[in-house]
Amino acid sequence: MSAQNPDYLDSAQEALAAEHRIRKHIRKTPLEYSPYLSRLGNCRVYLKLENFQVTGSFKYRGVVSHILSLSQDEKERGIVTASTGNHATAFAYFSDQVGIEGTVYLPENTDEVKLEALRWYDVELKLHETDCVRTEVFARETARRYGQVYIPPYNHPKIIAGQATIAVELERQLENIDAVFAPIGGGGLISGIAGYLKRSEASVEIIGCQPKNSPVMYESVRQGKIVNMESLPTLSDGTAGGIEEGSLTFDICRRHVDDYVLVSEDEIKDAIALMIEKHCLLIEGAAALPVASFVKLKDRFAEKNVVLVVSGNKISLDKLRTVICTSRQNLL
């Protein structure tokens, strides 16, 4: 994959434009060396700590990138999204910060704790249906009807470019990167990272990490088409669920992600507990996927520089209790 490939050049240009656009609004997150994981894999492991990003997740980068790319007229008409997770929090926080009228659509069965957290911000919350896909379809149609911009969680060039700014930072923080492990849900995060890093260094290995209970992107890439499949409950709720038909990220993942790793719920729990014990870091299930995946593949990366993207920090007390009580790390 040559540096002259226009696909990569376009991705790099979009990433650098996003970097310029959002820099003063976001944090340059730490790249922390992990002595424990490095010794475990006989390599050099670094943690890209997006759990320290504004609102506690990488999602903030994409939201800021998309909103700041809007025209003044679009901003004045208001913006809309549908989400119950990190994307909704990032959307609510930034639209509040810049004084844009924002509306978040959520399923009627959304957990009260999530609703309460969103009420901290000056956004309108609207409940519709009990199925998140139907909620999203309704939110899109409503935005279109009223001439408002819909801000999707992952399927938009400006969102992907915002997530790519992680890779821009990584290049400045670590001279030689041999492999990057990143979680995959809809694929916006890993699409941005791969599109930027692969532009000039095809040898960097991009590893996509998913839970066995919701391996939608893995199965879609394997079958060569976006598949609809049931997702089982998972601690990695941030990556659970389907992929939007026609999503830009599917094609990017199919071409640019080198390998995929599926991890069990026990492996996710162990990875969360490991980060608590070895790094005193509280992370969510999706952020544990790269850690769990590296532990599974550690023998492949001897003497190499490996980056694990720790994507966010949102974990409920109930899930944390489950991890502490049942993880094989035995934190009690």
Q: Residue 200: its pLDDT value, please?
A: 66
Q: Residue 214: its pLDDT value, please?
A: 94
Examine the pLDDT at 208 and tell me if it is beyond 80: yes
Domain at 60-150, CATH from 3.40.50.1100, 3.50.50.60, 3.40.50.880, 3.40.50.150 = 3.40.50.1100
Q: Residue 164: its pLDDT value, please?
A: 97
Examine the pLDDT at 8 and tell me if it is beyond 60: no
| Range with the poorest average pLDDT among 62-76, 127-141, 204-218 | 127-141
Cβ atoms of 96 and 90 closer than 8 Å: no
- pTM of the full structure: 0.93
Q: Do domains 6-57+156-326 and 60-150 have the same CATH topology?
A: yes
Average per-residue pLDDT for the chain: 92
Q: Is the pLDDT higher at 131 or at 317? A: 317
- Domain-wise residue ranges, the chain: 6-57+156-326, 60-150
Q: Which residues of 244-276 are buried (b: 16+ CB within 10 A; e: fewer)?
A: beebbbbebbeebbeebbbbebebbbbbbbbbb
Tens of pLDDT, residues 66-118: 999 999 999 999 999 998 889 999 999 999 999 999 999 998 888 787 888 89
* Look-up of token digits 């040559």: 2
Q: Is the pLDDT higher at 116 or at 33? A: 33
Q: Which residues of 56-89 are buried (b: 16+ CB within 10 A; e: fewer)?
A: bbbbbbbbbbbbbbbeeeebebbbbbbbbbbbbb
Averaged pLDDT, 280-287: 96
In 3D space, the residue among 288, 310, 293 whose CA is nearest the CA of residue 237 turns out to be 288
Edge-first strand order for the sheet with 124-127 is 124-127, 102-106, 79-82, 149-150
**Structural class in CATH, domain 6-57+156-326:** alpha beta
Percent of the chain with pLDDT over 70: 95
Averaged pLDDT, 244-252: 92
